Each structure stands twice: as C-alpha cells, then as structure tokens.
Amino acid sequence: MADTAGAVLVTGATGNVGAAVVRHLLERGEPVVSALRDLADPGLVPGSEARAFDFENPAGWEAALAGVDRVFLLRPPAIGDVQQHLLPFVDFALEHGVRHIVFLSLQGVQVNRATPHHAVEKHLRARKAPFTFLRPNFFMQNLSTTYAGDIRDRDEIAVPAARARTAFIDTDDIGRVSAHVLTEPGHLGRAYTLSGEQSLTYDDVARALTAELGRPIRYTRPSPAQYTELLRERGAPEDYIEVQSMIYKVVRLRVSALPNRAIRRITGAPATNFAQFAHRERAAWMPPEGDRSASAR
C-alpha cells in the first residue's frame, strides 16, 4: 500500500464533482484516497488509491481513514437520512484526527432548512469542526448528463425554468476550488457560494448549443404542470418528480441567477464559460455515428 500520510479522502470520487476534486488534488501533488463502494469502479481516477468505503458500514471507516487528515465530503443522493448514515461518519472522522472537512453543500442552504445539506452544515458548526462549505450553483453537467437525451435525440431542452437566468458552474471548477481550499491556509470556517461568471437563460443555452453543434436546439419552456406530466410519461418516480419540481421553483424565483467571481478569487483563474464547456462536452449531444435522424426533426 502506498504511503498516504496526510492524504485527502474523497467521497463520491468517481462522480462528476468527486473525480474533478481527485484530479486537481493530484495535479497539486497531494496523495489522494478515493473512497469507493466498489473497488472495481471503472471511474477511479488513475494516481489515487482506491479504498473500500460505505457510509452505511462503520466497520470499514477506520481502514478508509488510515493516514488521512483531510476529507472531501459529498452526500450520496441515496442517503436522505444523514442523521443515521452520514453524521456518524463526520463524528468518527473528527475523533480520528481529521483536521479539515470540505463539505459539498447547496446554494441557498442557509435558508432551506428542509434539505439534508442544512442538517450537515448545522452539525459541523455544532461540533466546532474545521469545516469549509462549498455551495455551488446549477451544474453545467446537468445538460450533458440528465438532459443530454432530450438535446441529442429531440434537439430540445425541456425544463420549467421560464425566462429565469442561471449562473451555471462547471463541476471541474468545483474540483479546482476544492483542491485550493484543501491545500492552502485561510479557508477554515468559511462558506463559499460558487457560481459561474455568466448569467444565462435557457434560451441563451440553446443558442450556445446551436452554435457548437451546428444544428438548431430549442428551449421548449414547458410549464411546471407540463414538465411534471412529461416526467410521469417517462416513468420517473414521484420522489424524483418532487425534487425536480422544487429545483425549478427555486430557479424561477431567480435564486440561482446571480453570477460571482468566487472561483476566480479562490483559484486565481476565471470560471469556465458555457461556450468552453459546450465545446469540451459536445460528444454528449451528438447522435450516434450513422444516425442523423434527430438532427432532421
């Protein structure tokens, strides 16, 4: 086993955010432990050490934390009850010498007491833990993952955001910020709202994708009721529909509209703009080779 004294344990290490955190820490020369439920996960970032980890299996926590002094904490979507399955790990980590926990929280969490993220922040404050909270805006990657099929197959974006603006953030920028926060002084006890430097409507997004993909992409602007019905037609479970409805209610209230320069201030480099992101991720929206029917619709 590699020497991981002073390593950073990254939870969610193969997801969009976690993998970006791992990559940027490795670029800064930090030893990184990727916490995985499945050690054969193909998303493991080369150069990091894979260790078995499960929030619901305390028996494995001590081995996962061996030689670790910092933790990037990401709540898995499947864990709704943080009191039972996540906060005990926080306590265990603090009792085993972790000197900094960077928690991936949620924009507006301080006024949204119903979210699990609020409970985690409250617990870390109550424990007087050495924390940093990262509160990101909407991920650009939602368009290249969750909504990629609509764009690729139907040339449309169908979300109930009305004409509201969103200051989207690239998850790679969250990884970049996390690496700085975990390796530089001055961030303990801080909470950072992370947004991109552009505030875009979904019509703006559709125009940017049209320019990048060379075919017209349109924003259909469904009403909340139409969107709910669309999700039901596609077989989405009711809890997913409820979460999506809440998310876009927040968007329509323009909570996500304000850009900022937090990424630039923390890292010394500007946030990724949407055109850069679209160019990098364009393959996500391209029909399979030999099937251009979607482009003709």
| C-alpha span between 296 and 215 (Å, rounded) | 9
- 7-36: buried (b, 16+ CB within 10 Å) or exposed (e) per residue? bbbbbbbbbbbbbbbbbbbbeeebbbbbbb
CB 142 within 8 A of CB 170: no
Kindly list the domain boundaries of the chain, sorted by start residue. Answer: 7-136, 141-166+197-258+272-285
- Per-residue pLDDT at 4: 43
Q: Which CATH superfamily is domain 141-166+197-258+272-285 in?
A: UDP-galactose 4-epimerase, domain 1 (3.90.25.10)
d(CA 225, CA 98): 46
Q: How many residues does the chain have?
A: 297
- Rounded Cα–Cα distance for residues 192 and 186 (Å): 12
Residue 225's alpha-carbon distances to 155, 159, 160, 203, 249, in angstroms, are 21, 11, 9, 20, 12
Strands (E), 17-114: 32-36, 49-52, 68-73, 100-104
Q: What helix, strand, coil percent values describe the chain, rounded to 5?
A: 45, 15, 40
- pLDDT for 291: 59
Task: Name the CATH superfamily for 7-136.
Answer: NAD(P)-binding Rossmann-like Domain (3.40.50.720)
- CA-nearest of 183, 141, 188, 180 to 17 is 141
Q: What is the pLDDT of residue 294?
A: 45
Q: Return the number of other C-beta atoms located less than 10 Å from residue 231's C-beta.
A: 17
Structural tokens at position 26: 């490795």
CA distances from 106 to 134, 138, 231, 258, 283 (A): 7, 9, 24, 15, 28
**What pLDDT, in 10s, does the model give residues 131-176?**
999 999 999 999 999 999 999 999 999 999 999 999 999 999 999 9
Residues of the chain under the 70 pLDDT cut: 1-5, 290-297
Of all helices (H) and strands (E), which one includes residue 156?
A: strand 156-157
Q: How far apart are CA 86 and CA 45, in angstroms?
A: 24
Whose structure tokens read 């990254």?
10
Q: Are 100 and 38 in contact (CB under 8 A)?
A: no
